[in-house]
Amino acid sequence: MKIPALLAVVVAMTIGLTGVATAATPSLELPPPTGPLSIGLTTLHLTDRSRADPWVPSERRELMVSVWYPARATGGATAPYMTQQESAAIIGLLDAPGAPADAYAKVKTHSSVDAKPLGLRAPLVVLSPGFTVTRAELTSLAEDLASRGYVVAGIGHNYESAATTFPDGHTTTCIACALPQDRAKIAAGRVADVSFVLNELTGPKPVWGGGKLIDASRIAMVGHSAGGYSAIPAMRADSRIDAGLSLDGIDTFDEVGTDRPFLMMGVPEHQPNGTDPEASAAWDKTWPALTGWKRWFTVDKSDHFAFTDNILLAQQLGIDLGDTLPGTRGVQITRAYVDAFVNRHLRGCPEPLLNGPTGQYPEVRGWTP
């Protein structure tokens, strides 16, 4: 599956918004988390002063990071999905008459801003979004994991998403999108970003006030698309990452692999000897290079963004996506399998869902080539 960079900006952010009616846009909402715990969200602005930005070398590397975490029950302010500037940038890319510029800024979440953390030691899951995709678009997954007792750090890889707003109000755009796609450079930057964020969250002086609650001996990385194909290099570069999961990471897997637990999950084209020869061949080469616990799943009727919030939100706007897997189902499947994976490898819980076909999720196929 090849997606040109500029087209990916449009598709990844608001799939199907073209043709939105001029009538009032319906209220957009993420599905409730499935765990029992309340959720807090804090937003961090981090600067790696030891490293130049790969896309703007005159600047130090700056990141916005969203941290979702188990929180004490609170009636505080509900966390915004994204900023108005980010929403406007996304909507502005589209031919979408009648779609308010702030439509995505108004998505209802299930987190409270800076709620007091629950006093429990929690494993850490790092989320790396796809190229051009904002960290916000993995919120439904992040909230679900936090409701089940995980701290979740969603990294905004600066200049690689359509828009990233910083605390002073300035908003950066996807400079990398206008350049020839260099997937090795993208992956290398994300590897460095992940290690830096781990240092900041789990070091002796954590930048987040709840950092002492993170159990740094239990860390997983979950990535979508570019974040997915960066997971194996990140694991090789940083031994703190105990397990990795790729959500439809495409085209740039390598043959070195990892000996730590790894799960590949993607669209039907990414089954062994699938219909996208280049992408399928990359997954075919990766499989034997995974020498530890491993699984390979594909999801029937899914497309590249079924593992994010995009299809869910587009369908709430009344967009007909044809035979695409319903957005609610994509979110449900993604949550179930990511949760099972991290439970098994960060908590040692048996998870039969990972062992083979199940009647609960008949769309998911397992492969053992």
- pLDDT class of 338 with cuts at 50, 70, 90: very high
Q: How many CA atoms lie within 13 A of 345 on its CB side?
A: 26
- Averaged pLDDT, 8-26: 42
- Averaged pLDDT, 338-344: 98
Tens digit of each residue's pLDDT (9 = 90 or more) over 267-307: 999 999 877 777 778 888 899 999 999 999 999 999 999 99
Burial class (CB in 10 A: 0-12, 13-18, 19+), 254: middle
- Write down the pTM of the prediction: 0.91
pLDDT at residue 22 in the model: 38
- Averaged pLDDT, 180-208: 94
Q: Does residue 36 surpass a pLDDT of 70?
A: yes
On whether the CB atoms of residues 167 and 83 are closer than 8 A, the answer is no
Q: Does residue 2 surpass a pLDDT of 80?
A: no
**How far is residue 44's CA from residue 42's CA, in Å, rounded to a whole number?**
7
- Averaged pLDDT, 162-170: 95
- pLDDT class of 21 with cuts at 50, 70, 90: very low
- pLDDT class of 1 with cuts at 50, 70, 90: very low
Q: Does residue 24 surpass a pLDDT of 60?
A: no
Domains and CATH numbers, the chain: 5-366 (3.40.50.1820)
